[in-house]
Amino acid sequence: MTASKHLGRDDVAVLVPALNESLRIREVVLGALEQCPNVIVVDDGSSDGTHACIADLPVTVLRHAQRKGKGESLRDGFREAARRGYRGVLTMDGDGQHSAGDLPRLLEAANRHPGCIIIGARLRKRAAQPTHRRLANEFGDWGIAWGTGYQVADSQSGQRFYPAEVIALQDVPGEGFVFEAQIVISAARSLGTRCVSVPIESRYHCAGSDEKFRASHFRPLKDLYSITSHIVLQALRYGGLPAVYRSIQANPPIIDDPSGEFATAPMAQGTGKAT
């Protein structure tokens, strides 16, 4: 990899979609600014003064007059990042469940795996993750595999890195949380993009902890049904299910973990392509 292609913190933006996040949004944005000078917040019609909590901070705030969903928030943020010429986007939720301290690790993985979508996979301290959320995530991973032809560790995580060619994709369907699944599928099918997972810790409210998080906007039954039904219908239309199954079996999750705790065989450098 040449030095000119190396991604640094000035080359990317951190995108934070936010809906009624007044509890933690200032902390989240301040943490993001410590890691990257370019922060875009999309306030999705919040009614709790979310935007006022960060009005004095050096960030770009896009506001929806009414709620449009996470998918549209991400689309608007991607368009703004592309307009500003950034070479990639790091995403994190506004509720504080993602640590900004993990963003440099995602960017380092992006440099080791050019062209890939990098996912902050909640593999560490998984016991802290509510059982129903963990099972829902595993079911989501199964569905994503049928859409992409390869396996992904924690496909439902919202902490990700998207390269410029992925955020530039047009007409990616899906609303709400479906969009995060669909953009992975669209990138795999149209660009041959592969996902690489970087282990991070789950951050949830638990007994004995002083950390407070608002109730999740993700509704496991309803949202996972929407995601899975969307993917299954696409897979049926796309056809070739036996071949897709063989591809899934031949392509286990790729986990980038220099510590060796979760590491898998590395993908060929510089490709970023699914096989």
Please give the Cα distance from 264 to 126 (Å, whole number). Answer: 19
Instruction: Give the three-state DSSP class for 105.
Output: helix
Would you say residue 275 lies in a domain? no
Is there a contact between 182 and 110 (Cβ–Cβ < 8 Å)? Answer: no
Look up the domain containing 81 and give its range: 10-250
Residues with Cβ within 8 Å of residue 237, at least 6 apart in sequence: none
Backbone angles phi, psi at 156, to 5 degrees: -95, -5
Grouped pLDDT means (10 residues each) for the chain, 275 residues: 73 97 96 98 96 97 96 97 98 94 97 97 70 68 89 92 97 84 94 96 56 59 67 72 89 91 57 61
Instruction: Give the three-state DSSP class for 219.
Output: coil
What pLDDT score was predicted for residue 2?
40
What pLDDT score was predicted for residue 269?
44
Domains held by the chain: number: 1
Would you say residue 187 lies in a domain? yes
Would you say residue 167 lies in a domain? yes
What pLDDT score was predicted for residue 174?
81
Please give the Cα distance from 262 to 257 (Å, whole number). Answer: 6
Please give the Cα distance from 133 to 221 (Å, whole number). Answer: 10
Would you say residue 100 lies in a domain? yes
Would you say residue 259 lies in a domain? no
C-alpha distances in angstroms, 94 versus 17, 164, 222? 6, 22, 21
pTM (2 decimals)? 0.85
What pLDDT score was predicted for residue 165?
98
43 beta partners: 18, 63
**CATH code for the domain of 53:** 3.90.550.10
C-alpha distances in angstroms, 46 versus 22, 25, 49, 78, 193? 9, 12, 7, 20, 33
Please give the Cα distance from 219 to 32 (Å, whole number). Answer: 26
Please give the Cα distance from 153 to 32 (Å, whole number). Answer: 24
C-alpha distances in angstroms, 86 versus 10, 112, 138, 172? 8, 18, 32, 20
What pLDDT score was predicted for residue 210?
57
Is there a contact between 199 and 123 (Cβ–Cβ < 8 Å)? Answer: yes
Would you say residue 35 lies in a domain? yes
Neighbouring CB atoms inside 10 A of 6's CB total: 12
Question: For the chain, how big is the Rg over CA atoms in Å?
Answer: 18
Would you say residue 264 lies in a domain? no
What pLDDT score was predicted for residue 140?
77
Would you say residue 255 lies in a domain? no
Residues with Cβ within 8 Å of residue 50, at least 6 apart in sequence: 18, 19, 20, 21, 22, 25, 43, 94
What pLDDT score was predicted for residue 233?
73
What pLDDT score was predicted for residue 268?
44
What pLDDT score was predicted for residue 101?
96
What pLDDT score was predicted for residue 124?
74
